[in-house]
Amino acid sequence: MDLSWIITALLLLLVGLLIIYVIYMSAEHGIFKKLKIPSLTPVPVFGNFLKELKLGPFMFQEELYRTYRTEKVYGYFSCKTPILFIRDLDMIRDIAVKHFSNFVNRRDFRVDEPLDHMLSMLKDDHWKNVRNTVSPTFSTGKLRRMFHHISDSTRTLVEHLREQKISGKAVELKHLVSCYTMDVIASTGFSVQINSLKEEKSDFVLKAKQIWDAAARVVFVNFFLPFMNKVWSKIGINIYPNGTLDFFKSFVDDALKNRKEATNKGQSKRNDFLQLLLESEREDITDNDNMSIDEAQELEISTGRKPLSHTDIQGQAIIFLLAGYDTVSTVLSFTLFLLAQNQDCCARLQEEIDDKLGKRIPSYDNMQGLAYMDMCLNEAMRLYPPGFQLDRVCNEDIVINGVLIPKGMTVSFPVFAIHRDPEIWPDPMRFDPERFSQENRLERHPYAHLPFGQGPRNCIGMRLALLEIKVALSAILQEMTPITCSETVLPVRLKFFQMNAEDGLWIKMTDRVNH
């Protein structure tokens, strides 16, 4: 065949595919007009993504929130996908709690296995079953029994800070605290001591960081090539850097193997997250979907829940490590950073700790009733919420507060913008824990502050997170005071896609005065 014919045919094919791609990616771009919901005007294929990319998700969220200040809801297009932002706090309550059964799932994102089995990604009954299985990890009894692990890691963290204080060196809080939270999560969850705080470059922290840092790739794949989602894994293409997920899979598998061997040798059972997972696994199945209905029913009757597949177990172990390490370190490091800038608040918190604990080591019981500490943490999470945008997918057409939300629509709570809304929080950029006093709280809508989300799909690890943070804060502030220094960079510039400071959170530690 003539070469020019082949080239023309190929070009025509390419143009044809491009037209199909544009039509496919823009097919839903008329939906908000049809629903009479105000929205940004979409660009074919990209929707409003280019604007989001230009401003970054934080400023984009705030700008839209300001633009539609008189609306209950407004829309935008994340490339192909329409997203309905919910501004009205009553509607957020109704979606997260009252009509939860209509909004059980989150937005579908393609990630590599076993991350697709993490609790945060699961749907419907699969989610419910796994949530019920892992919930007991965070009961009061379990948290009490885990407490000595938190105490041990806190001691190492304080020793570290003490050394920095003596040497007069500045500390980058986020990195240091991430090592602490990684140690806590590995020991409380898996009874494994990984000592990130003692090692210069902890593999755990580096690999976990690689997973968070792959966010841009996850966005690209999901936003621009959503139709390929089912194909990637079949053709063996991974989103995450080679070896990253294998590292965590091996960690979990080794921990499970050791635990099984110990159980077989009759050694006493541990009381951690891994043990719960181990007891809910059934070895002769590789995936829940492969079970016969009879088998599943028999197991559900005897145990009250379905067994987890091996991939489910890997997924939960990994989310436990990832969610438990990054979010907690974000909150603890920002809190210390804000206290360093607000010495009066820091002194008041130290007074409360002195009254409650004196020089005693923090225990599970004396972490209750630290009212001013709660206020400081709530205020830090208001300014820097790790979960800055929360979403749910509508599974049946529903009308809420006069707004029709159609089946399949992703609804999103603009947490970051709500937390900085000057009409709810006067002078929003000021760190003012008083906003969370009893009286001030009562005057505000309860859904104006959403650091852990709301409803049955809220953060499962909230109690563990707060316990870890409070223990570390108490132990640090009992003997030291964080202060700003020449390395401190203000104002904080947030990283593009993460609740993390671009220039780091640098402070120094000093001896406490009048102590």
In whole angstroms, the minimum distance from the beta carbon of 27 to ligand HEM comes to 28
Closer residue to ligand HEM in complex, CB, 78/327: 327
179 marked among binding-site residues: no
Look at the block and give the residue holding tokens 């598998």: 253
| Minimum CB–partner distance for residue 387 and ligand HEM (Å) | 3
Q: Give the residue with the Cβ less far from ligand HEM, 40 or 173.
A: 173
Residue nearest ligand HEM, Cβ-based: 453
For ligand HEM, the closer of residues 40 and 184 by Cβ is 184
Rounded to the nearest whole angstrom, what is the least distance from the CB of residue 479 to ligand HEM in the complex?
24
At residue 287, the 3 state secondary structure works out as coil
Task: Output the smallest distance, CB 338 to ligand HEM, in A.
Answer: 14
Nearer to ligand HEM by Cβ, of 26 and 314: the residue is: 314
Which residues, at least 6 apart from 480, have a Cβ–Cβ distance to it below 8 Å? 161, 162, 165, 509, 510, 511, 512
Minimum distance of ligand HEM from residue 287's CB (angstroms): 20
Cβ neighbours of residue 449 closer than 8 Å, sequence gap 6 or more:
378, 381, 382, 419
> Rounded to whole angstroms, how far apart are CA atoms 129 and 296?
12
Calpha distance 415→60 (Å, rounded): 12
Closest C-alpha among 397, 31, 57 to residue 223: 57
Reference 81, options 224, 218, 221; nearest CA is: 224
> Toward ligand HEM, which CB reaches closer, 45 or 328?
328
Is the bond into 433 cis (omega within 30 degrees of 0)? no
Strands 171-172 and 390-393: unpaired
* Cβ closest to ligand HEM, residue 40 vs residue 390: 390
d(CA 457, CA 127): 9
Least distance CB 4 / ligand HEM (angstroms):
57
Minimum Å gap between C-beta 145 and ligand HEM is 15
Binding residues for ligand HEM, rule: CB under 6 A, are 119-120, 131, 319-320, 323-324, 327-328, 331, 381, 386-387, 390, 451-454, 457-461, 464-465
Per-residue tokens: 368:
């209750």
Provide φ and ψ at 481, rounded to 5°. Answer: -125, 130
Nearer to ligand HEM, 274 or 331 (CB): 331
Indicate the residue among 82 and 315 with the shorter CB distance to ligand HEM: 315
CA 405 from chain center: how many Å? Answer: 26
DSSP secondary structure, 449-468, as one string: --TT--STTS-TTHHHHHHH
User: 438: Cβ–Cβ under 8 A, 6 or more apart, which residues?
Assistant: none
Considering the complex, state which of residue 457 and residue 508 has its C-beta at the smaller distance from ligand HEM.
457
Task: Supply the minimum distance, in Å, between the C-beta of residue 220 and ligand HEM.
Answer: 23
What is the phi/psi pair of residue 149, to 5°?
-65, -45
Minimal distance in Å, beta carbon 185 to ligand HEM? 6
Q: Which is nearer to ligand HEM, 369 or 456 (CB)?
A: 456
Q: How far is CA 303 from CA 280, 359, 460, in A?
A: 9, 46, 21
CB of 469 to ligand HEM, least distance (A): 6
The per-residue DSSP string of 78-107 comes to: ETTEEEEEE--HHHHHIIIIITGGGS-BPP
CA nearest neighbour of 48 among 23, 80, 22, 19: 80
Closest CA to 117 of 102, 101, 133: 133
Q: Which residues make up each annotated binding site?
A: 459
Q: Which residues make up each annotated binding site for heme?
A: 459
